[in-house]
Amino acid sequence: MNTLKTSTTMATGSATPAAAPTGPAGEPLPRRSQISPIADAVAIMDQIPGGGLILTTVEAALNWGRASSIWPLTFGLACCAIEMMAAYASRFDLDRMGIIPRATPRQADLIIVAGRATIRIAPIVRRLWEQMPELRYVISMGSCATCGGPFYYDNYSILKGIDQVIPVDVYVPGCPPRPEALIEGILKLQEKIKREPILRQQAAAALRGA
């Protein structure tokens, strides 16, 4: 309800008062928020009885798809990246979970920050993260990416935690974390993705941005 109200007020606020949309015969067309189809759909679903249930079901289906095909960026920084490679390779085989590494951030929705990030590489990690399309996730793999590591706490060149430059969803501890630990982290991320009210979030984001 609330969403709908906001959207209509904002739409009327921005539209020119003179030109109300009309059909071929001059009849007035049904009003639309003109902001985003998702925002409209969510608003309509919220109005009709049982719409919330349908919305949740659609969200569950979408989230199932997203969680089962997380595409991470191939980006390794240090030692932890070797364990990440081992997780992709024969024994642990992340492919069976729908995880296929992509070489460009434009196609990736997950960045696994594997290893220690120096202060010099930090802006580049940030830029890669910014290049990824929205609904992106970050796994911080290893103690170094999480907090500067078990060894690099008193050092001048290592960033004390990648969460100083990008927001992290899942922290995987270890030095290095075993591939099993990384898989556990990815399962945690899948849980998180499956819980997200993605349509409502997107509608709210669209309204915020409008």
The residues binding another protein (CB under 8 A) are 73-79, 81-83, 85-86, 89-91, 103, 105, 116, 118, 120-121, 124, 128, 151-152, 154-158, 175-176, 178
| Residue 148 contacts ligand SF4 per CB under 6 A | no
> In this complex, which beta carbon is closest to another protein, that of residue 41 or of residue 85?
85
- What does the alpha-carbon distance between residue 133 and residue 93 come to, in Å, rounded to a whole number? 25
Task: Report in angstroms the alpha-carbon separations of 13 from 7, 9, 17, 204.
Answer: 10, 6, 9, 18
CB nearer to another protein: give 55 or 182: 182
* Angle between helices 2-14 and 37-47 in degrees, nearest 10: 140
Ranges of beta strands (E only) in the chain are 72-73, 110-114, 137-141, 170-172
**CA–CA distance from 108 to each of 101, 116, 134, 168, 175 (Å)?**
8, 21, 10, 16, 25
CA–CA separation, 145 and 169 (whole Å): 12
Residue 11: CB minimum distance to another protein, A:
41
- Decide which of ligand SF4, another protein, none touches 143; Cβ closer than 5 to 8 Å per partner kind: ligand SF4
Binding flag, residue 35, ligand SF4 (CB under 6 A): no
- Taking the C-alpha atoms of residue 43 and residue 7, their distance in angstroms, rounded to an integer, is 9
Instruction: List the one residue from 39, 42, 73, 116 that touches ligand SF4 (CB under 6 A).
Output: 116
CB of 15 to another protein, least distance (A): 44
Instruction: Name the residue nearer to ligand SF4 (CB basis): 159 or 199.
Output: 159
DSSP state of 90: T
Instruction: Pick from 78, 85, 86, 122 the residue near ligand SF4 by CB under 6 A.
Output: 78
Total binding residues for ligand SF4 by CB under 6 A?
Answer: 12
CA nearest 76: which of 142, 131, 136, 137?
Answer: 142
Binding partner of residue 34 among ligand SF4, another protein, none, CB cut-off 5 to 8 Å per kind: none
Instruction: Pick the closer one to another protein by CB: 39 or 73.
Output: 73
**Contact residues: ligand SF4, CB under 6 A:** 78-80, 115-116, 142-144, 149, 151, 175-176
